[in-house]
Amino acid sequence: MKKSIFLSIICISILLPKSGEAQINEDKLGAWYMYFFNTTFKESSWGVQGDVQYRNWNTAGDLEQLLLRGGITYEPKNADVKLTFGYGNVTTGSYGSDNSTTSESRIYQEALFPVKFGNRLYTNHRFRYEQRFVENQDFRTRYRYNLFLNIPLNKATMDDKALYLALYNELFINGERNIGNGNSVEIFDRNRFYVAAGYVIKKELKIQLGVMKQATDSWQKNQLQFSFHQTL
């Protein structure tokens, strides 16, 4: 009898979630606050772009990620494409009361193709390849494809004082599956679907407020997003 009770206690202790491994509350709204910028060097084909993103598991205070990213851009003459070579630094926080973080350095290359359909459909196709150096993991790579769509509502074009609908969907695919220490990841990393209302303050500055649904292979969550987009 005592032996069976002892075995039951061991089984229960194994099955119960451990402290510091809080389960993500998928029903709780998170929030991302973001600033994007880009500029070109006078009349040349070269420029820079980057973004700062403060991501929270809740509306504020519970850090999901702090992302700092920037890159050199090149737009070939007579070709409607922007190429970028860049670097990102990412600090990832744990969900809930656990204040531990993980750091990541990330090199990336991307190609951005704008395509306009008719008078009102502004699309961008972005292909990005990342080389990731994540703390306590082996070298990783990831492939990303994002389809952006902007539709002006009160005007035919994305001019000053235009209200517009903004949507995007981005798919993430992992390269290497083995990440070290006997751990592995799925080929599918995550998908993000976003819908927002945007406003063109002036040609060089836009703002957006919307919601993004992020789905990984183990959880999915809605994130409020507020972003500034500036051309310097």
Sort 17 into a burial class: Cβ within 10 Å, 0-12 / 13-18 / 19+.
exposed
Across the strands, what pairs with 102? 92
Residue 169: what residue type?
N
| Chain segment 198-223, per-residue pLDDT in tens | 999 998 999 999 999 999 989 999 99
Sort 196 into a burial class: Cβ within 10 Å, 0-12 / 13-18 / 19+.
buried
- CA 226 to CA 224: how far, in whole Å? 7
| Chain segment 136-159, per-residue pLDDT in tens | 999 999 999 999 999 999 998 999
pLDDT band at 124, cuts 50/70/90?
A: very high
Tokens of 198: 């945007």
What pLDDT was estimated at residue 22? 57
State the CATH class of domain 32-231. mainly beta
| Chain segment 1-30, per-residue pLDDT in tens | 444 444 444 444 434 444 334 588 999 999
Give Dmax over CA atoms of the chain in angstroms. 84
Tokens of 43: 């009349």
Tokens of 13: 């202790």
pLDDT band at 42, cuts 50/70/90?
A: confident
Across the strands, what pairs with 190? 172, 216
Among residues 209, 206, 174, the alpha carbon closest in space to that of 190 is found at 174
